[in-house]
Structure 1
Amino acid sequence: MDYFIIIAPKLISFFLLIALGFTISKLGIFPKSCLPSLSAFLIKVVLPCLTISLLCQRGTTWGDLAGFHGIVLCQMAGYVLLAAVGLLCVRLAEIRPTTSNVHVGCMIGGNYGFVVIPILMALYTPENGQQYIPICSAIDTMMVWTLGLYFFTRGVEKDGEPWYRILAKRLFNPILVSIVLILTLNSLSVTLPGSVLEVCTNVGNISYSLGLIYVGCTICFLKKGSLHCLKTLWMLALTKLFAVPLLIYILTGPILPETERVVLMLIAGAPSMTTSCMIAGQYGLDEDYASTAVFVTTICCMVTIPLLFLTSALFR
């Protein structure tokens, strides 16, 4: 299978949209002062709409998640492993706090739609492989906006703020609320009005392009000397895109069928999610590191995805 051909069209649009964001910021059309508003709009409006649209269209329920409990539990364990490896790398590289949060967060959050969905659609039939797409998408969203958000925001709370208020802020974020709400409505066979779903779909559809334009804008405003972190970024790329995904494939060998092992390997090996930049911007973290991590891991996945398939064949 030529994985490059599968991903290449998306990679071209990836570059073009980032270039567009870079250009409009360079020309002053989109100044740096607008970035916080754009990131807030994406996180609090666009991404919840996308979540509602996708889950409603696929009809995913809590029962579906329970029915695939094997792959669901292993997928959740995979995020914990990614976080643990990220924390180890942070300790070994002695990365400063605001950057270390981003490093671990970028380890957990992967670009599910960029790599996982197109490859699964190309490799498998709807009955043998593609049925995992909505299930794993729901788990991915929940884990990123619970475990992932925790590591992104760890230590950035206001002094003296009660723990229960901090927990409420983390759990009651718009994206997690939307996914829990729609899974519950789907489980109760309650459907949203067509006009509401149409609005959510139209708003959600701009997430991919607007998110990458945002990344391009942040790259335009990179501070001089930001590339000093390339050493830790290569550590991020090596562990997230190759070492941990391969380890997950090996560890799940005795308990999961081959197709599910490949799905989990691809999920773990997806490049860092575009939303990392927006979360970093919202919480005053190292946004330069986040945008560079998204760019570097996306480029590297063109090499690591084929390499994962070649290497994993040795452990079948």
Structure 2
Amino acid sequence: MTAQIAAITNQIIIFAILMAIGFIAAKTDIFTKDALNTLSRLIVKIILPALIFSVVAGSGVTAREFLISGRFTMGVVFCFSLLILASVAMSKLCKLEGKSANIYVALLTFGNMGFMGIPLIQAIFKEPVAQVCIAVYTLVDMALLWTFGVYLCSRHQKNSNPLHAVRNMLNPTTVALCIAFIIMLFKIPVPDLLMSTIAGTGGTSKYLTLMYLGGALAYVSVDNIIKKPSILVSTIVKMLVLPVIVYYFLGFFLPQIPRTILTIIVGLPSMTTVAMMATTYQSDDEYATEMIFVTTLASLVTIPIISVVTNMMA
């Protein structure tokens, strides 16, 4: 476990450096808002799908190994149920209404798995079970994000309908995920040259996305955040309290590695994609950006803390 804490600490330091580079680039006009928007589209439409495809299709996991992952799937369902219930309760305690309440639930439910979670998990765990965990979680996460998540971001609109969100599942990330699952389950060979190209493209995710996050943070108003105590309170609940609760209860039915992976995922900062969805559906994108700002910065401290605390609980 000491080696795990060291690995997490090393990754967090790398994350901090990359975010600092992006922040400085924004402050020196290398990353303008237009440049960040272009980079965001590149990441979401090309780099993230390439990362997910290479992780799932190139995992070497057999169909049998994937199909016996029922207990981990139960753990994923438990985590999402807890996150949704906690976010709804917290939104009422914080007296949020309308767009802000809707986007709040989405921000607490969905963590930054693609941009931060996958690179972090891959750096810490080399065992094949980690690839299974990433594949299973990503499948559930993407299905919920592009249905329930879209509904939350658009439910304030008069013509909002949960069924309309299903069509939003047809995007580069979910298509890449579905193709990768078919390749993994049926052991379809992929030419090495093609796989190495896709893996190399996806491998840039950690560097580009963290520099993007650092650049985006440079355009957030800290004064507005101070006036919204709900953001600060929720950060503590999402990134410190809930991961400890999850780690404790998962210990009753999950082995140590899947248990730790899910704990890390629950403690991830809010998903950047939620802010993009909020903008698309004219929801409270300002609140979303501010929450992502705070949770992303906080994660540089809270993830190592959770690692130490769970190490003591093990």
Q: TM-score, normalised by structure 1?
A: 0.82
Gaps in structure 1 of 5+ consecutive residues: 122-129
Where does residue 138 of structure 2 map in the other structure?
141
For the pair 1:70 / 2:71, whether they are aligned, the reply is yes
Between 13-22 and 154-163, the greater mean CA deviation after superposition: 154-163
Shift of 1:306: 0.7
Q: Between Structure 1 and Structure 2, how many residues are aligned?
A: 303
Q: Distance in 1 between matches of 2:135 and 2:227?
A: 32
Check conservation: 1:272, 1:297, Cα contact below 8 A.
no
Q: Deviations over 1:31-83 (max 9, x none)?
A: 11233222121111110011111122213355432112112222232122122
What is the RMSD of the two structures over their aligned residues, measured on CA atoms?
Answer: 2.9
Post-superposition Cα deviations, 1:130-164, rounded to whole Å, max 9, x if no partner, equal 33201110122123222234454324266536654
Shift of 1:25: 1.5
CA distance in 1, matches of 2:279, 2:215: 12
SS in structure 2 of the partner of residue 58 of structure 1: coil
Q: Is the 8 A contact 1:18 1:215 kept in 2?
A: yes
Q: Distance in 2 between matches of 1:131 and 1:232?
A: 39
Report which stretch shifted further, 214-223 or 262-271.
262-271
Aligned to 1:244: 242
SS of the equivalent of 1:300 reads helix
Question: Is the partner of 1:95 in helix, strand or coil?
Answer: coil
Alignment-derived partner of residue 118 in structure 2: 113
- 5+ residue gaps, structure 2, are none
2:167 — aligned with what? 168
- Cα offset, 1:271, TM superposition: 4.2
Comparing 259-268 with 20-29, which one deviates more in the overlay? 259-268
8 Å CA contact 2:130, 2:258 repeated in 1: no
Measured against aligned partners, the alpha-carbon deviations of 1:224-274 in whole angstroms (never above 9, x if no partner) come to: 523226633333333233332332333334434455444433333344456
Q: Is the 8 A contact 2:8 2:120 kept in 1?
A: yes
Deviation at 1:119, TM superposition (A): 4.2
Match of 2:10 in 1: 9
Identity value in percent: 21
Deviation at residue 190 of structure 1 after TM alignment: 1.2
Q: Equivalent residues in 2 for 1:237-276 (5 A)?
A: 237-273=235-271
TM-score, structure 2 as length reference: 0.83
Q: How does 1:1-316 map to 2 (within 5 A)?
A: 1-2=1-2, 4-60=5-61, 62-95=63-96, 97-107=98-108, 108-109=110-111, 110=113, 111-113=116-118, 115-121=120-126, 130-153=127-150, 154-156=152-154, 159-160=158-159, 164-169=163-168, 171-223=169-221, 225-228=223-226, 231-273=229-271, 285=285, 286-310=288-312, 312-313=313-314
CA–CA separation in structure 1 for the residues paired with 2:300 and 2:176: 27
Q: Determine if contact 2:147/2:165 at 8 Å carries over to the other structure.
A: no
- Counterpart CA distance in 1 for 2:203 and 2:298 is 25
